[in-house]
Amino acid sequence: MPPPLIQPTEDELNLVQAVKGNIQTYLKGTARFVSAATEELSFKEAGGRVKSVNVAVGDRVKAGDVLVELERGDLELQLRLQKMNVEKSSLLYKQFQTSDVSATDLRLRQIELEREALLLKSMESRLEHSRLYAPIDGIVTFAENLQTGDTVSAHQSVMTIADPARIQLTYTAGSSKDLMMVEVGMPVQLRYKGKEYGGAVLQTPANAPLTADEIQAEQAAVMLIVGMKQQPEDVQIGHSAEMTIELQNRADVILLPRSAVRSYMGRSYVQIADGSQRREVDVEVGLTTATEAEIVRGLEEGQMVVINH
């Protein structure tokens, strides 16, 4: 007996119609609150062994507070003795000024006073450079893990002080390409603890300050700085807010679901339903969102397009 003939099933196409509408693109992400005024501290003149560390991360400090001290032997005792020497030389010089002495003797006393004063100034400078002072009122946001007796080098970053009264936000993108459409001054919508706030872009990679530091340059290439119009009262450094920036908005354009657009070797195309058959058509894609794609060229309104499975 001949085998029965099986009628092939028709391939049902999942179709969507190309329609006109509006498309809008956004940059969305989580931005972190940071201080707009930070000071990175280090010993500028010379390093040494740590005598004491007086603060830790999270501590509030006042301008002028001593944060870290280095060992300087008996420098403080020498400084007290030198102050006495200056006072002694000053008294002798004043005494000679009122005495009947020669101009040479008076000048010698003056030179001695100047010498002692210079020594005092040098000692005071050495003591000053052995202490790390807080330059502003703020909070310690970074502190090197230092213990008494540890060695610190000159220019080694030891602490960072941030002013909590001056707050801004930073957003770090996955790639610099994500920030190409962002410009300074663009409005920013922020959501913090369930409330909406307005802001604006203050800095993009395009206008970031130039720096020779490779690490800082890499960070600036993927970072936005955003300012707020009204700062939340309870915000703290390290908190975060949801950020939305409107990038582009186009009206009355041909739209398709993104799943309808296919790509291969740099080519973008769609499959158009031609009766029960499919026909490939090259298209030029404009704006895209997570769900939609703008078709700039290659497709007309009303055409039926096959969606990818």
pLDDT tens track for 217-232: 898 999 999 998 888 8
CB atoms within 10 A of CB 283: 24
Spatial distance between the Cα atoms of 146 and 129, rounded to a whole number of angstroms = 18
Give the pLDDT score at 44: 86
User: Does the structure show a pLDDT above 80 at 174?
Assistant: yes
* Tokens coding 183: 């410009």
Q: If we measure between CA atoms, which residue out of 264, 250, 248, 265 comes closest to residue 295?
A: 250
**Domain 15-22+250-306, CATH 2.40.420.20 — does that match?**
yes
Residue 39: is its pLDDT beyond 60? yes
Q: Does domain 41-71+131-163 have CATH number 2.40.50.100?
A: yes
**What's the pLDDT band for 10 if we cut at 50, 70, 90?**
low
Asked whether residue 285 carries a pLDDT value surpassing 60, the answer given is yes
pTM for the predicted model, two decimal places: 0.64
Q: Is the pLDDT of residue 102 over 70?
A: yes
Assigned CATH for 26-40+164-248? 2.40.30.170
Kindly state the helix (H) or strand (E) to which residue 214 belongs, with its residue range. helix 214-220
Fold equal for 26-40+164-248 and 41-71+131-163? no
Please give the Cα distance from 65 to 122 (Å, whole number).
22
Exposure string for 217-237, b = 16+ CB within 10 A, e = fewer = eeebebbbbbebeebbeebeb
Distances (CA, A) of 168 to 38, 62, 173, 286: 12, 21, 17, 33
pLDDT at 123: 86
The residues spanned by each domain of the chain are 15-22+250-306, 26-40+164-248, 41-71+131-163, 72-129
